[in-house]
Structure 1
Amino acid sequence: MDGAVLAPPGLRARGAAVTLRDLEKRYGPVGAVAGVSIDIRGGEFLTLLGPSGSGKTTTLMMLAGFETPNAGDIAIDGASVVDLPPHRRNIGMVFQNYALFPHLTVAENIGFPLKQRGVPKAERARLVGEALDLVRLPGYGARYPRQLSGGQQQRVALARAIVFRPRLLLMDEPLGALDKQLREALQIEMRRLHGELGITFVYVTHDQAEALTMSDRIAVMNEGRVAQLGTPEALYDRPASRFVAGFIGETNLLPAVPRGAQDGLGLVEAAGALLRVGSTQPVGPAMLAVRPERLRFAGSPGPGSGPENRLAVTVTEAVFLGESRRYLLAASDGTRLVLKEPAGSGARSHAPGEAAEIVWLAEDGILV
């Protein structure tokens, strides 16, 4: 996309602060949400990320008012909204299926929430025009949804959700129906819109890359609870559990037995070798987590300096992925590892069956 389009003054807003406290939701004997507590900062882009059945959409629906919690509280700017119906919470919503009215024009779709609120026709036209400019669809007001691409329909849905100036925007898998290239382009657009509007975004997705790209913070959910809440960098580099380590991006998880400490680093036995780690020693058996891109073949240029681990391996599979190469490796005890390196990095390629040695910084391995 070309130059930034600043939000018109009428569409700027201060984001609402949201507090979810000990939220629970049960459907008969089934617990969908089991004690979720999150403080969402005003103007923040927070993503609820997790697999199907983790409770993320149910949490969003309780915040929107479409589901009633069995226990707990929801506050917006310090005021409880648990007893308020959805239309009195003044929250914008965007769904995966767009939910546009096929018999209304783009302008009429966007202006619908304004009409429902009794905004005069002339004012509606002005606000609709501002919203269309903001989502980069000027001049599309007279078209019908059937005349738009999927990406354009999603932009119209976004414009409708923000045109009445909510301070909180909720989105449930809004890009899930789009192809990969368009989805990635709209992720950047979402991020731009968030920065220009200044409102609070709460976004639901099961797509880890999408969450990492757009979010200020991510709440990783599993089995109705928040497994970890933090910045994308913190979740990726310092996952707090095996679930988070395995769910956020790709990682090598190696069974590890603690063997004390040396020179301020933990020692573990893993993959048939004694390896050093930078994280605190757990009590008892653990898993050593190392990201595939943090591994490299001995002799390849590496980032930074510091104590390194070295491990003899055999290459069992090599795949060229365009921007990178992905290797499947086997250690002497049969442990399997994945190594990724940028294609065209100057490093030679390795063929299946080749014996090699891999290295990584001790600080890049953590115990979970």
Structure 2
Amino acid sequence: MNGAARGASVSLADLEKRYDRTNAVDGVSLDIRSGEFLTLLGPSGSGKTTTLMMIAGFETPSAGDIAIDGTSVVAMPPYRRNIGMVFQNYALFPHLTVEDNIGFPLKQRGVPKAERTKLVAEALELVQLPGYGGRYPRQLSGGQQQRVALARAIVFKPRLLLMDEPLGALDKQLRENLQLEMRRLHADLGITFIYVTHDQEEALTMSDRIAVMNDGKVAQVGRPEDLYDRPCNRFVAGFIGESNFLPAVVRDLEDDVVVAECEGVMVRALCPTLRPASGSKVTLTTRPERLRFADAWNGNAPQNRMSVTVTEAVFAGERCRYLLRATDGTSIVLKEPSSAAIRRRQVGDQAEIAWSVADTILV
């Protein structure tokens, strides 16, 4: 199975899908590299599944083009695109054994029985279900059924695998285990994965790159760490992970750093894309786990500081989560590792918080 052909490249150009007057997908352009694991991430109604269905051929674009390995496939029926597909509901045939379910796409392609048996056994090994060929779907757990659906999608060695919320119906522990298995499977196969999810953690864990979608458009595309550390706008900052948003007024610009007045103090923030005018109102963002109480700050990078009052203190196992109130009433969340060596704060405590300028972004 490791000998599968390298992954296909996929190019979406100004892709649109209109239903009546609604643009479900609105001018999406995206280049997906050969062998890449790309995730389309976004809330319900953002256009991610519709985009996936157009790549698969189950939906026809209203405008734009889809090219696989440089060849347009818009006019090509789904069965000729040779794409593997895994859905959330698995779509296994209940009356067929696991072996026959996995072998179904091979039978459709006229593969001889002896070759089918060999390829099915390889696929079962790959998804770690050797010896399960004689069972029926009803005799399997949800996680095992999902693996069978995966095996069926890869058994004919497609160069592109599309997955629509495939782990959505599973419990948290099993979902996390299968996320890691899918990363391993991707590395073993070397084919291109395009994965749809609304779960940010899942996207961050599994993907080479993530395309964040909102209102039918791609809001930002990049590596997981780039999207998390350098969100390009408020939507991306708020959708991926947890963020604090601080209202501020621009007072000065120093190269790619903006100096803004926030809660009566001067705060410095990176402005990688925006160049706001002095006096303009802006929003700054920083992640809760990047904040520290100033008396526990041990960083030596340039830092921002602010006075706050603790309004809520929650012990959550590996972390303590504090809700803080700035002088003008803005709520700020701070998360710090829980440790016997770190002093716990109490509701009503006055404190000063500190965080790095590099962890403050203008959105």
How high is the TM-score relative to the length of structure 1? Answer: 0.95
RMSD: 1.3
Segments ≥4 residues shifted beyond 3 Å: 261-265
Superposed counterparts of 1:43-62, under 5 Å? 43-62=35-54
Relative to structure 1, the CA distance from residue 141 to residue 309 in structure 2 (aligned partners, 3 Å threshold; closer, same or farther) is same
Letter in structure 2 aligned against 1:75: A
Shift of 1:282: 2.3
Shift of 1:9: 3.8
Question: 2:297 touches 2:354 (CA, 8 Å); kept in 1?
Answer: no
In percent, how many aligned pairs have the same letter?
72
Q: From 273, 276, 285, give the equivalent of 1:282.
A: 276
Q: From 70, 80, 84, give the equivalent of 1:92.
A: 84
Q: From 328, 331, 341, give the equivalent of 2:323.
A: 328
Partner of 1:313: 308
2:238 aligned with 1:238, yes or no? Answer: no
Q: How many residues align?
A: 359
Letter in structure 2 aligned against 1:180: K
Question: 2:90 touches 2:149 (CA, 8 Å); kept in 1?
Answer: yes
2:215 aligned with 1:220, yes or no? Answer: no
Of 321-330 and 345-354, more deviation after overlay is shown by: 345-354
Partner of 2:137: 145
Shift of 1:285: 1.7
Shift of 1:305: 2.3
Partners of 1:49 and 1:113 in 2: CA distance: 29
2:287 aligned with 1:291, yes or no? Answer: yes
Partners of 2:227 and 2:69 in 1: CA distance: 27
Question: 2:2 touches 2:189 (CA, 8 Å); kept in 1?
Answer: no
Superposed counterparts of 1:1-368, under 5 Å? 8-10=1-3, 12-261=4-253, 265-280=257-272, 281-283=275-277, 284-302=280-298, 304-344=299-339, 346-368=341-363
Partners of 1:208 and 1:256 in 2: CA distance: 28
Relative to structure 1, the CA distance from residue 32 to residue 345 in structure 2 (aligned partners, 3 Å threshold; closer, same or farther) is farther
Please give the secondary structure, in 1, of the residue aligned with 2:75.
Answer: coil
Deviations 1:24-54 (A, max 9, x none): 0001111101100000000000000011111
Please give the secondary structure, in 1, of the residue aligned with 2:296.
Answer: coil
Relative to structure 1, the CA distance from residue 38 to residue 265 in structure 2 (aligned partners, 3 Å threshold; closer, same or farther) is closer
Please give the secondary structure, in 2, of the residue aligned with 1:333.
Answer: coil
Partners of 1:334 and 1:9 in 2: CA distance: 58
Deviations 1:36-95 (A, max 9, x none): 000000000000001111100000000000000010000000000000110000000000
Partners of 2:59 and 2:163 in 1: CA distance: 15
Partners of 2:240 and 2:256 in 1: CA distance: 28
Deviations 1:253-292 (A, max 9, x none): 1111111035974211113321112335424321100000
Of 192-201 and 265-274, more deviation after overlay is shown by: 265-274
Letter in structure 2 aligned against 1:288: L
Relative to structure 1, the CA distance from residue 139 to residue 297 in structure 2 (aligned partners, 3 Å threshold; closer, same or farther) is same
Letter in structure 2 aligned against 1:289: T
Partners of 1:153 and 1:354 in 2: CA distance: 52
How high is the TM-score relative to the length of structure 2? Answer: 0.96
Partner of 1:3: none
Question: 2:256 touches 2:271 (CA, 8 Å); kept in 1?
Answer: no
Deviations 1:179-228 (A, max 9, x none): 11111111001111001100000000000000000000000001100000
Shift of 1:321: 1.3
Relative to structure 1, the CA distance from residue 62 to residue 265 in structure 2 (aligned partners, 3 Å threshold; closer, same or farther) is closer
